[in-house]
């Protein structure tokens, strides 16, 4: 996904606001002629579990966010969340959850103790994990 440094900074800021629980949200994106996606907005959500080990967006909140994204003519380009004690790699919980979301990008912010936040992105399909590049949009 093409995503600006400003939008990535919003995701990291969200993760750092409550570093003891996983943050979560959606990234609104526009599809480009070449098949790529460009992030347009970060849509924060509430982790209904308020947990350091898992996240979930309330289905009603997710529907409202998705509807607002689609009303702008965009699509949900990514789901983001943080890992509060580990590197930004999909956990088994993420892999299991991805089985129900269809093909979508997963942006994860790792907040390992004492380290700078690290952001990575993945496609998770059929239990397979493929890291994908996060790039600046073309100008």
Q: Which residues contact 38 (CB under 8 A, 6 or more apart)?
A: 1, 2, 3, 29, 30, 32, 137
Write the DSSP symbol of residue 99.
T
Q: What is the dihedral of CA 110, 113, 114, 118, to 10 degrees?
A: -10
Active-site annotation holder among 22, 32, 61, 75? 22
Q: Which residues contact 97 (CB under 8 A, 6 or more apart)?
A: none
Q: Which residues contact 60 (CB under 8 A, 6 or more apart)?
A: none
Does residue 22 carry a catalytic annotation? yes
CB atoms inside a 10 Å sphere around CB 52:
18
Query: Could you give the CA distance from residue 79 to residue 98 in angstroms, rounded to a whole number?
Result: 10
Indicate which residues carry an active-site annotation: 22
């Amino acid at each position: 996904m093409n995503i600006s440094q400003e939008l990535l900074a919003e995701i990291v800021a969200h993760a750092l606001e409550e570093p003891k629980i996983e943050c979560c949200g959606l990234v609104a994106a526009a599809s480009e002629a070449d098949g790529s996606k460009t992030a347009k907005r970060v849509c924060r959500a509430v982790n209904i579990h308020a947990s350091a080990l898992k996240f979930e967006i309330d289905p009603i909140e997710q529907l409202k966010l998705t509807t607002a994204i689609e009303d702008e003519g965009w699509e949900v380009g990514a789901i983001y969340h943080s890992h509060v004690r580990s590197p930004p790699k999909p956990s088994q919980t993420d892999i299991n959850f991805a089985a129900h979301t269809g093909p979508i990008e997963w942006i994860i912010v790792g907040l390992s103790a004492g380290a700078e936040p690290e952001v990575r992105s993945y496609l998770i399909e059929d239990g397979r994990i493929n890291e994908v590049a996060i790039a600046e949009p073309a100008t």
